Amino acid sequence: FCSFFVLLLLSAQPSPPVTETASRASRAAPLRSRRMIGGTLAPLVPWQAMVYLSDSVLTGGYAGGALISDRWVLTAGRNLFLRKSRQDTQGKNPLIPKVYLGISELAEAKPSREVAVERVVLHPGFQNQSDWDNDLALIQLKEPVVISDRVTPIPLPERGQDLADGAQGSGVIAGWGWGVYLNLASSLKHLLVPLANHSACKAEYEQSQLAPSVDDSMFCTGSTGRFQENVCFGDAGGALAVRDAQTGDVYAAGILSFDKPCSQHKYAVYMKLSSYLPWIHTVTRGDVPNSAAVRSSTMATMHSWQS
Cβ atoms of 258 and 269 closer than 8 Å: yes
Residue 236 near residue 257, CB atoms below 8 Å: yes
| Angle made by CA atoms 245, 41, 80, in degrees to the nearest 5 | 85
Give the E-state strand segments of 45-180 in sequence order.
48-52, 62-67, 72-75, 98-101, 114-115, 117-122, 137-141, 170-175
> b/e per residue, 24-63, with b = 16+ CB within 10 A?
eeeeeeeeeebbbbbbbbbbebbbbbbbbbeeeeeebbbb
How many residues are present in the chain? 307
Strand arrangement, sheet containing 137-141: 114-115, 98-101, 48-52, 62-67, 72-75, 137-141, 117-122
Domains by residue range for the chain, with CATH = 40-299 (2.40.10.10)
Alpha-carbon distance 200 to 208, whole Å?
A: 14
Q: Contact at 8 Å (CB) between 170 and 113?
A: no
The answer to whether 176 and 225 are in contact (CB under 8 A) is no
Phi-psi region of 262 (alpha: psi -120 to 50; beta: other; left: phi over 0): left
Give me the phi and psi of 109, to 5 degrees please. -75, 75
- pLDDT tens for the chain, 307 residues long, are 554 344 433 333 333 333 333 333 333 333 333 323 357 888 899 999 999 999 888 888 999 999 999 999 999 999 999 999 999 999 999 999 999 999 999 999 999 999 999 999 999 999 999 999 999 999 999 999 999 999 999 999 987 777 654 445 899 999 998 765 667 888 999 999 999 999 999 999 998 888 999 999 999 999 887 778 899 999 999 999 999 888 889 999 999 999 998 878 889 999 999 999 999 999 999 877 787 788 888 888 888 888 7
The pLDDT of residue 179 is 65
CB 73 within 8 A of CB 99: yes
This prediction's pTM: 0.84
Residue type, 64: G
